[in-house]
Amino acid sequence: MMEHVCEVFRSPIREMHITEESLIEWIIKFQPIIRHVCIRKDVILSVESLDRILKNLEVTESFRSDYHAYFQYKEPIPSRCITIYNSHWLTLTSILTGNNSIIFLYDSKLTPTDINTILKEWQMGFKLRNLEFMAIEVFTFLDIHRYSNEVLNSFPNSVENNGRPMTVKVHDDDIWTLPEGPPVHNIIRSDGMILSIFRHDDVIEVRANEMNKYGVWVAGIRKPECIGNSSCQGINALSFSDPFHSDNPTGYLWNPNQPDGTSNDCLVWIMNPDGSCGIDDVP
């Protein structure tokens, strides 16, 4: 229906949400220059499909993607603003060879060394020269201070604000306000441009039944007939939903003297206070 309306009235399209692959060829043919494009889940299945869009459709303002890609993409995404969810498929090479002004990367798999490389390349002045704002969301098991030190490795300590603007235009009327607190670091380029780095930490902890132990639930649930029954002991008291461990539950790396409960009804991977880890049974 949308195709017919646009072709009858010749209305220019400002924004396009591509929800199925057939729309790719249509928009390339009908209007090869567009301000905003959003690629929805499960539309792009290969590098070739993504290349087809980026090389034949000029997205002048913002490109957004929230699909799960099962490939690595090394080419730049030619749009002023890019917002990539599930961005594990976007490589360091793609970022460094791009000319983007605004970059949002969510659930990124970039390492601290990768981010450090981005900062160094920006400082040298040959890459990312148009960069105005970049946000990278990562999940890590590293200590946050160690992570930060690796990101900022070899940069001198500088945290002054110097009255620089605290807002950035993402696209059109979308204005972002930067954090009110001081930056954790400033980096100065040879032309005098200053890059300020802000850090926001969300620590996600799944609490087990003992102080200073943290863990994540894994397959394994106590059998109903074994709850409160002291005659049910060890792994025979548990049922396993993991196909591998259903046949070989001894494949788990247990904490010492575990499992040991009679009312504890699930298994959790535990990070112990001393840095060791293993499987435990908890309520």
User: Which span out of 4-8, 18-22, 119-123, 265-269 was modeled with the highest average pLDDT?
Assistant: 119-123
Residue % of the chain over a pLDDT of 70: 71
In a domain? residue 123:
yes
User: Which span out of 107-111, 114-118, 210-214, 238-242 was modeled with the highest average pLDDT?
Assistant: 114-118
Q: 260 and 171 in one domain?
A: no
pLDDT of residue 30: 86
Asked which of 197, 227, 243 is the last residue of a domain, the reply is 197
In a domain? residue 230:
yes
Per-residue model confidence as pLDDT tens digits over 100-125: 999 999 989 899 999 999 999 999 99
Q: 147 and 70 in one domain?
A: yes
Q: 193 and 73 in one domain?
A: yes
Phi, psi of 279 (to 5 degrees): -95, 135
pLDDT of residue 210: 38
Q: 164 and 42 in one domain?
A: yes
In a domain? residue 236:
yes
pLDDT of residue 110: 92
Alpha helices in 125-254 (DSSP H): 144-151, 243-247
pLDDT of residue 262: 57
Structural domain containing residue 191: 2-197
Q: 116 and 227 in one domain?
A: no
Gap between the Cα atoms of 148 and 112, Å rounded: 8
Asked which of 168, 197, 226 is the last residue of a domain, the reply is 197
In a domain? residue 207:
no
When divided into structural domains, the chain yields a total of 2
Alpha helices in 137-211 (DSSP H): 144-151
